[in-house]
Structure 1
Amino acid sequence: MKGMCGWIGTKEAIPDTRKITNSLVVSMSGELKDSVQALYGARDGMAGWSEMGQASCYEIDSLKVVVVGNVHWKSEALNRLSLETSPAAAVANAFSTSSKAFLEEMHGAFCVAIMDEQADRVLIAIDRLGIYPLCYSLQRENFVFATSTDGVVAHPEISNEIDPQAVFNYLFFHMVPSPGSIYKQVFKLLPGQYAFFQNGKIETDFYWHLKYADSGRSLISERKERLKSLLNKAVKKAVIDEKAGAFLSGGTDSSTVAGVLTETLHKPAETFSIGFEADGYDEMEFARITSRHFGTHPHEYYVTAQDVVDAIPMIARAYDEPFGNASAVPTYFCAKRAKEQGIRVMLAGDGGDEIFGGNARYAKQKIFEAYFMLPALLRDSVLEPIMFGLPGIEHIPPLRKLKSYISQARVPLPDRLESYNFLHRASLDEIFTSEFLEQVNSQVPDELLRTEYGRTDATASTNRMLHLDLKFTLADNDLRKVNRMCQLAGVEVQYPLLDEEIVMFAAQLPPALKVKGLKLRYFFKEALKGFLPKETLTKSKQGFGLPFGVWMQTYPPLQKLAYDSLKSLRERGYIRPEYIDGLIEQHRSGHAAYFGVMIWVLMMLEQWLQHHQTKAV
């Protein structure tokens, strides 16, 4: 429904730049719609599109600009130019005045590209939270960029060779994290990052970093009112069309957005919820509590096992890279239901946990970090020599637990966050073929985590984990999930809780206000007491979890699809057949939910490969 692409070739004129540019557009959107705006040169082309009017192109002299999204500026002059002419015209003006530095003045959710054919240079960038994606490649003197890897590899000079390292990274993270992509020579921008192509070389850097407060006075009262004001402002900005609705899982974030949306519209908001006929997975009652509390107009849909069978191939085809987050299925059906009811834009609650401290690992890691508050002499000279040197510890339950605690605490962050990763639960030689392992570096996932964990200036471990999650949990995972599934369903999506003012406000809260002791989202919940239902404030986090593992045991068509996918995956040379056999047996033996996760991840890898007509490594 919206996106951009572009390219610049060698210094010689190319016969049909329009044809090449249009082929990139079609590979991403399926057709050349009326909403597509395009600019062509002697050896370049670029295009942007949005059915909600959020794309603009502008050309002046040798400069071409395309911008997609909601852009606003610190400068009133640029805001005025954007309104009177176009957002792309404002970008062209700002770039001509200050070159790359203009990005610091550009705000909102957006992706932007500036091409100067005469100077042989291109600048591309995405917003601070990574709401809009951009990927790029430089091959055979052609620089190509697009909001989807599909668009990049559609260029005739760009290779679509699968990267074995990306396959390994996918199986570790259940998605392919940036800056890599599933293709060997295609790369993705990180949140707040730009890429500058000039004279045949690419330079990348960050134009923005989120500043965290690692300490400070825990003043709540005035901050409560500030949060409420920011929420109202953010939801109003997110309502870009009168036909707006909201996802409603019944959790803190979706309930907040639904409640503020109802207040903003001065009428019952259209809310959409998903349920499952499976014990431990259905949260519909919490969604109903929120709907009754705020007086929304609720729409419910119960996803069935057959729905999952029908959706899997479609979802695999929709993603431009393998994507293993199973909650994509309920997200799609929720957005689809909204589309059927005439909704054109959906408001999603994603981001609250990652800026206000709502993920369980934040509290869990505080417990492990507390170990280092003990005197070093006690740790090094007493506890650890006894725990790791005294025989028979494993036979004394309390001491066995203490040893396990110390063992985990000694693993530094962020590595400790992946202690229970599937790829750490067995030897890699037991999971992967030797031929595949020869092509990958098994340390890359940990290195990616460490790089992002260390990129922030924050010193408090809670803040550093929040910073890490802005990339890995949000930009690389949740936003990809919701963006793609809304696109597949045919609706736009907005993220009020990721409004820059809210994100910066949350970053300046002291860590103790985010996670107070072991209480998650302490400030947020305190601030919204009296607004949110009591049941919402006290419920445990779940979201749109999918009972795939359970249903796979009881619904033969779903089991067949999974088994057929794993059978095909065996032939690709990634995974040892005996590992797949063991996974299936463990799933059958009663650990359906746990082992169903890895079966889903492997199945979606094979489904993606099949629907993108790629070959094994």
Structure 2
Amino acid sequence: MLLGIIGSRAVQHLRNVFPEHSRDSWEYHQTPDGRWFVWSEAEKKRDHQIMLVTPEPGVFLWQGEWYPRPQSIKPALLELNSRLIHNPVDTLAEINGAFSLASWDEGKRTLLIARDAVGIQQMFYAELNDGMVFSSRLRPLARLLGMDSNLHYPALIQYLTFCYHVGEETILAPIRRLGPGQLLKWEKGRIRVYTYWRPRFRPVPRPLKTLAEEIREELERAVHIRALGLKKAGVFLSGGLDSSSVVSLLHREGIEDLRTFSFRCRGESFDESPFARRVAETFHTSHTEIEYRPQDILLAGKMAGFMDEPFCDVGINIATFLLARKAREEVDALFTGDGGDELFAGHPVYMADRAARFLPETLLAPFFVLGRRFPDSDMKKDWKVKIKRFSESVAYPRSLGTNRWRAYYRPAELQSLLLFDDVVDDSIMFGPLSVVHEKTRGLDGLSRSLAGDYQTVVQFYLRRMEMARVMGMIPRFPMLDIQIVDYCAGVPSSWKIRGLSDSKYIEKKAVETLLPRDIVYRKDKLGHSIPLKNWMREEPAVRQMFSDLLSSETIGRRHLFNPSKIEQMMKEHERKERNHSHRLWALVILELYLQSLQNAVFPWEEKSR
């Protein structure tokens, strides 16, 4: 973790809370005039993750990975810092990696901070009266500034709507975040933020065979530069096309000890474990399958303590916690297939968006009214579930892009839940997402969705892997390699989705020689799926957890939400009138997150215990 401060008062405050007896466990540096102080966790085992160098005159701090890794990292960082001072935008755009960095030029009294192009690593900051403070983690920054209870209500509203929030503002005011591919410059008390990289969605027509061959070569390169020097590696394996392709390519790299990790969730239409086992057997990995049981939901309290900000999709965050807890016992480097859906338009929301553009709403309006009246089903995906979800989502603004298929409240519904005075309208709920979508004007419909999702949904998916990073592992994302992202942004949309529903068409052609045919052309991909909605109705321990955390007494202490509205949602869910699992799970995670903030300690306090 990185943390840095400019400003004499803030530095003195840090000294007061940073006791002398714990400083041996940390690296820190102070400039001669006393106005700069920076420290980072001394991860001696992973010197490629944390590096502090002191060019004259100044300080350069790097956290993360650079692909391919330079043979001598310290001289490479010194050269990088020199180039940053003269041309930061072009210099950062050339770095293929996962990083956060800070550069202080003592002569010019200028600070630069940045995060990597696709946003794998985080960077938070806040302005102070006589300077600013930044960190790659939000929690220590919030505690340092005494802001760990300052909820920012617009961000809270967006979290409830989408189960995550986007944009520069965080859920704790007035802390802000840099977006993916962004650089901040502080000079003479003024802050300016620049965007140094975005995927270039400019389709270049190529023959299908050429595209497939070049995409396969790009995937091979992206895996190769992340696997250099590894004898042991792990992969989160779902059995889907993306993670299976990563396993195949790592196998070709000759990794001596290749380990795969997947979870199994029993229940009709929820279990994908046979596909993961099929891939593991094909490539002779050491495979670990973890049973995802109803009682594992009770781990949510521990899991919330790893989050910088609340986010929730019960399949993603609990499953990641379970897998990461097991994987950290066996591997340091952990690969995933995250990013494949955005490269090749694989998520069902892209097909839903496509259908909504082609089918006139006036023709379908009576059908949708009927669909919204269907009761909930116990199944993950049956025709009633699909029609009901489509009917509810198509009414959201088109300006949300694919996020309209991920929204869970309309303004009036959310207003009835909230007790605070802020007026809930489209501008607060949807504003940041609409701004992102507006910047994609001029692209075709699918490209607009994909370009927007790199700024929004990808950031949501990456937050789950922060838990693995906090547990001491190094996540690696070959399908978020900036070169392959740029290449696939140039692939015409017609090769990503054929017709209305043949998704990932070009990826299938690219990897069909790498994987068993039944994996490449399977039609029943479920995603990270668990039957939470059923467990909430049927499993006593899960029912009790929701009842306790969303009781009138617990909710009443926050003065944020209307207890009677939450009680109404719980009853409607139990009677199968509506599936409120996402709404109620978001409230549970928020409550656990707020509890974890109240009980938080500084990292150095933890080490000195």
Q: TM-score range by the shorter chain?
A: 0.7 to 0.9
Q: Aligned partners of 2:545 and 2:370: how far apart in 1?
A: 44
RMSD: 3.3
Among 101, 112, 119, the residue aligned to 1:112: 101
Q: Contact (CA 8 Å) 1:211, 1:457: kept in 2 or not? A: no
- Answering whether residue 583 of structure 2 is matched by residue 604 of structure 1, we say no
Q: In structure 2, what residue type is equivalent to 1:595?
A: H
What's the TM-score, normalizing by structure 2? 0.86
What's the TM-score, normalizing by structure 1? 0.85
User: 2:496 is matched with which residue?
Assistant: 514
Q: Contact (CA 8 Å) 1:253, 1:352: kept in 2 or not? A: yes
User: 2:607 is matched with which residue?
Assistant: none
Gaps of 5+ in 2: 373-386, 601-609
Among 51, 60, 63, the residue aligned to 1:56: 51
- Answering whether residue 267 of structure 2 is matched by residue 278 of structure 1, we say yes
User: 1:530 is matched with which residue?
Assistant: 513
Q: Contact (CA 8 Å) 2:5, 2:37: kept in 1 or not? A: yes
- Answering whether residue 63 of structure 2 is matched by residue 68 of structure 1, we say yes
User: 1:331 is matched with which residue?
Assistant: 320
User: 2:157 is matched with which residue?
Assistant: 168
Matches within 5 A, 1:437-586: 437-438=422-423, 442-456=426-440, 459-475=443-459, 477-484=460-467, 486-518=468-500, 519-537=502-520, 538-567=522-551, 568-586=554-572
Q: Cα distance, 1:257 vs. partner? A: 0.7
Q: Contact (CA 8 Å) 2:240, 2:525: kept in 1 or not? A: yes
Q: Aligned partners of 1:442 and 1:413: how far apart in 2?
A: 11
Judging changes above 3 Å, is the alpha-carbon distance between structure 1 residues 45 and 591 closer, same or farther for their aligned structure 2 residues?
farther
Judging changes above 3 Å, is the alpha-carbon distance between structure 1 residues 460 and 474 closer, same or farther for their aligned structure 2 residues?
same
Q: Cα distance, 1:238 vs. partner? A: 1.9
Matches within 5 A, 1:344-383: 344-370=332-358
Q: Cα distance, 1:497 vs. partner? A: 1.0
- Answering whether residue 24 of structure 2 is matched by residue 40 of structure 1, we say no
Q: Contact (CA 8 Å) 1:274, 1:330: kept in 2 or not? A: yes
Q: Aligned partners of 2:350 and 2:504: how far apart in 1?
A: 10
Q: Contact (CA 8 Å) 1:128, 1:193: kept in 2 or not? A: yes
Q: Cα distance, 1:488 vs. partner? A: 4.5
Q: Aligned partners of 1:557 and 1:232: how far apart in 2?
A: 45
CA shift digits 1:124-166 (9 cap, x unpaired): 1111100111010002223011111113223347675111222
- Answering whether residue 306 of structure 2 is matched by residue 318 of structure 1, we say yes
The 3-state SS of whatever aligns with 1:509 is coil
Judging changes above 3 Å, is the alpha-carbon distance between structure 1 residues 47 and 243 closer, same or farther for their aligned structure 2 residues?
farther
User: 1:377 is matched with which residue?
Assistant: none
User: 2:195 is matched with which residue?
Assistant: 206
Q: Aligned partners of 2:368 and 2:328: how far apart in 1?
A: 59
Q: Contact (CA 8 Å) 1:164, 1:436: kept in 2 or not? A: no
Q: Cα distance, 1:170 vs. partner? A: 0.9
Q: Contact (CA 8 Å) 1:113, 1:125: kept in 2 or not? A: yes
Matches within 5 A, 1:228-267: 228-239=216-227, 241-265=230-254, 267=256
- Answering whether residue 408 of structure 2 is matched by residue 422 of structure 1, we say yes
Q: Contact (CA 8 Å) 1:325, 1:481: kept in 2 or not? A: no
Among 1, 4, 7, the residue aligned to 1:6: 4
Q: Cα distance, 1:330 vs. partner? A: 0.9
Q: Contact (CA 8 Å) 2:84, 2:91: kept in 1 or not? A: yes
Q: Cα distance, 1:275 vs. partner? A: 0.6
User: 2:78 is matched with which residue?
Assistant: 89
Q: Cα distance, 1:292 vs. partner? A: 2.1
Judging changes above 3 Å, is the alpha-carbon distance between structure 1 residues 185 and 52 closer, same or farther for their aligned structure 2 residues?
same
Q: Aligned partners of 2:475 and 2:277: how far apart in 1?
A: 22
Q: Contact (CA 8 Å) 1:235, 1:496: kept in 2 or not? A: yes
Q: Cα distance, 1:445 vs. partner? A: 3.3
Q: Aligned partners of 1:510 and 1:548: how far apart in 2?
A: 38
The 3-state SS of whatever aligns with 1:427 is helix
Q: Aligned partners of 2:482 and 2:233: how far apart in 1?
A: 21
The 3-state SS of whatever aligns with 1:273 is strand
Gaps of 5+ in 1: 74-78, 373-382
Q: Contact (CA 8 Å) 1:142, 1:157: kept in 2 or not? A: no
Q: Cα distance, 1:279 vs. partner? A: 2.7
Q: Cα distance, 1:266 vs. partner? A: 5.2
Q: Aligned partners of 1:253 and 1:350: how far apart in 2?
A: 7
Report the count of equivalent residues.
Answer: 573
CA shift digits 1:50-71 (9 cap, x unpaired): 4422221111233111011223
Q: Contact (CA 8 Å) 2:537, 2:543: kept in 1 or not? A: yes
Q: Cα distance, 1:222 vs. partner? A: 2.1
Q: Contact (CA 8 Å) 2:125, 2:175: kept in 1 or not? A: yes
Q: Cα distance, 1:5 vs. partner? A: 1.4
Q: Aligned partners of 1:231 and 1:564: how far apart in 2?
A: 47
Q: Cα distance, 1:367 vs. partner? A: 2.1
User: 1:299 is matched with which residue?
Assistant: 288
Q: In structure 1, what residue type is equivalent to 2:495?
A: L
Q: Cα distance, 1:192 vs. partner? A: 0.5
- Answering whether residue 123 of structure 2 is matched by residue 134 of structure 1, we say yes
Q: Cα distance, 1:242 vs. partner? A: 2.8
User: 1:432 is matched with which residue?
Assistant: 418
Q: Cα distance, 1:408 vs. partner? A: 4.6
Q: Cα distance, 1:612 vs. partner? A: 0.7
Q: Contact (CA 8 Å) 1:67, 1:111: kept in 2 or not? A: yes
Q: In structure 2, what residue type is equivalent to 1:52?
A: R
Q: Aligned partners of 2:475 and 2:402: how far apart in 1?
A: 34
Identity of aligned residues (%): 24
Q: Contact (CA 8 Å) 1:39, 1:46: kept in 2 or not? A: yes
Judging changes above 3 Å, is the alpha-carbon distance between structure 1 residues 102 and 529 closer, same or farther for their aligned structure 2 residues?
closer
Judging changes above 3 Å, is the alpha-carbon distance between structure 1 residues 186 and 410 closer, same or farther for their aligned structure 2 residues?
closer
